[in-house]
Every structure is written in C-alpha cells, then in structure tokens.
Amino acid sequence: MMLKKTVVYGMLFVFLLFAFESVSSLRVSPSGREYNFAPGLEASVKFNVIGNLQTELSISAEGDLAKYITFDRTSVQGEGEFVATLKLPDTIDVPGFHRIWIVIAEKVDDELISQGMITTSVAVRPAIDIYVPYPGRYLDISLKGHDVNVGESVNFDLSLSSKGTETLIVTPRLDIHSNNGIFETLYYTTRTIESQEAISLRKTVDTSNYTAGNYKAVVYVDYGTLASSEYDFRIGQLSISILGYTNKIPIQDKNQAFDVEIESGWNDLIDGAYADVTFFNSSGKILDFRTISTTLTPWEKKKITGYFNSVNFTEGFYDANISVTYFGRSQGKSTSQLVKVEFFKVKSSKLWYLIGGIALLIIMALILIKILRKNGSNKKSIKKK
C-alpha cells in the first residue's frame, strides 16, 4: 500500500514539474492592452507567441466582450504571430471595467483523453481591457506620500481619473492631521479633467515647523460628490525608544542574558546602537555591562542582548539604568531609562525530586490500601456462602 502511494505521488510530482516547465517555455508579447470606450472603436493588436513547444496552439477569446474580437488566424504551430482586431459597438450598457482574455492554448489530443490518460493543456492569457465610462460624473482618486525626518520635505502625489461621461473642474484640498486635529491645510491648483482623462498632481509640504510623530494626510475633492483619500506618514528624528527589557533574573553562578528591546524613530539608518546597563542599590553601583552593538533600519524594532553573572545578587528588586547610545549621519546621541529588575533564587531540583518521591509513595500506599480492602471484602463474601 505504501509503495503504491509513493508511486502515485512520484507520478504527480513529475506531472506538475512537466506542466511548470511547459508553461515557462511559452510566452506571449505584449502581455495586454488598455482602451477607453468610444462608440465604434476599432483597434488591432499584433501578438507574438514565443516558445519551444512543437504542438499546435489554438487562439480564442473569453470574456463578456469576447464577441467583439476577431483573429486573422485561429492557430499557430508552436510559435508565431497573429493579429487580434477589436471592433466595439456604438453603446455598451454596463459601465466600468471589462476584460477580454486572449487565450493561446496547446490543443489536447481528444483520443488520449477518451483512453483515460493524463494530459495537460499549456496556455497563456494576455488581456485586452476596456473601460466604459459611467453616466454623468464619476471620479477615482488616490493619495500617496512617504516618511521623512524633521525638516525634510514630503511629497504628496494625487492621482485623479475621470470615469464618467462629463467634464470635471476640481480644486483638491489637502488637510494634514496631527493628534491634536488639523495641523495644516493646502490646496492644489484648480484643474479641468475631461471624460476618461487621468492626471497626477504633486503637493510638496515643508516640515520644518513640524515636530516628530505620526500624521495623516487627507485629500478632499468636490466634483458634485465629495471624494476623499488618505495616507498615514511619519516624521522622524534621530532617536531610539526603549520598549522593553528583561525584568526577572535567576540567581545562578553562570552568565545570564539581559535583553533590551529598542525601536528607531528615524527615517534613516542608525549605526552602532548598544546599551550600557548598570545595577545599583542604596549603597551604590553593584555591576555594569554592555550589550552587543547593532544597526537599525528606518523605524525598525530589535532586541540587543548583554550577559552578566548574577551569583552575587540576593533575592529582591534592584534599580537598573539602561542607557542606549547610537549614531546617525555622524551624530551621536543617547537615551536612558531607570527600571526595576527582580532577582530570584532557583528552586533546588533535589527538593522537587524529594517532593515527587513522597507524592509517589503516598499514591502507591493508597492504591495498596484499596486493594487490601477489596480482597478483605471478597473473603468475607466467600465465608458467608
């Protein structure tokens, strides 16, 4: 049974490998075309089929507008060129996006299928996309930005695409929101957008009067209907935050790991970030050590680790100062945090073995008592009989 499964899985693997290699050996250029609808629109696309297949490839169209596509040939042998001609009607009732698939597929031997043999049809499917405008006014908008550091300019790119039949006149408004509300409002230049026209606009914002933090840019476009799009962005500064640390340490005569979790607040590379950790009590410093050094990419979170021997500590809480030093663009900075760390004694394994042994003896004794009682009851029953 196991051998049969192995053979089946092996055949399936070979089949999938063959299919993958066949698909990768068949390509078509171009991968597609896009058109905005116009009454009676005519267009021709020349496709070039490239591959090493020796079989005949059929050519066909699929999709809700496939009936408006004709071909100068319906097949090619292995590879070659063909022309797809698009001729649209005067009207299309359903507005929006329509896709016509041009299917170039390996012809399958019907006789092999009828005999129950495994066959695969290799195919590629370039697309012809048609966009039919919505009646009246219709606008798609999209806003994009990027993270910066304090004092750097941030560009907000606004994409406007008219998907309706009417011409639009718009004056986009850009609001920059901080945690306290709208921080700044800017306006793009008034534009006229024709039906099915797409334009891209850029607004550059100077952040010299901004502080580091998280912001949200929201653009509003009133074209009879109010449309909006938003983008979250960060303004960084050369800083590192301490997010967490090891707060419980066992007392043992061996090196203990101490982790410090840090996060970059800068939209640039930070080099040589490391932490100095100092333990002290009311009498003064007890011990200090340094973690490994690391590099942080923009906004990255990472753990850095140092090691020390905890054998001379006693149970209880100790104060610890964590000071992180780091460098960026030849600038050196540091940040510190005072924390509490608990030291605790590790329970002896011998004690646990003793407790476990006693518990096992008690369980065995209870089982033995139960067996003896049961035997005693059985003997009394026999005597009565």
Query: In this structure, are 30 and 128 located in the same domain?
Result: yes
3-state DSSP assignment of residue 378: helix
User: Per-residue pLDDT for 196 more than 50?
Assistant: yes
Evaluate whether residue 66 is within a structural domain: yes
Q: How much of the chain exceeds pLDDT 90, in percent?
A: 72
Query: What are phi and psi for residue 134, nearest 5 degrees?
Result: -80, 150
Contact present, 247 and 237 (Cβ < 8 Å): no
Which of 114, 132, 150 lies at the terminal end of a domain, its last residue?
Answer: 132
Residues 354, 90: Cα–Cα separation, whole Å: 93
Residues 89-138 pLDDT 10s: 999 999 999 999 999 998 866 555 555 554 557 889 999 999 999 999 99
Separation CA 83–CA 44 (nearest Å): 7
Does residue 31 sit in the same domain as residue 97?
Answer: yes
Look up the domain containing 289 and give its range.
240-345
Domain count, the chain: 3
Please check whether residues 259 and 294 belong to one and the same domain. Answer: yes
User: Which CATH number do you get for residue 81?
Assistant: 2.60.40.10
Domain final residue pick, 102, 132, 162: 132
Interatomic CA distance for residues 260 and 308, integer angstroms: 14
Q: Is cis: bond before 298, omega within 30 of 0?
A: no
- Are 117 and 196 within one domain? no
Same-domain check for residues 183 and 245: no
**Could you tell me if residue 40 is inside a domain?**
yes
pLDDT of residue 383: 55
What band does 220 get if pLDDT is binned at 50, 70 and 90?
Answer: very high
| Pairing status of strand 75-77 against strand 173-178 | unpaired
Q: Is the pLDDT of residue 16 over 50?
A: no
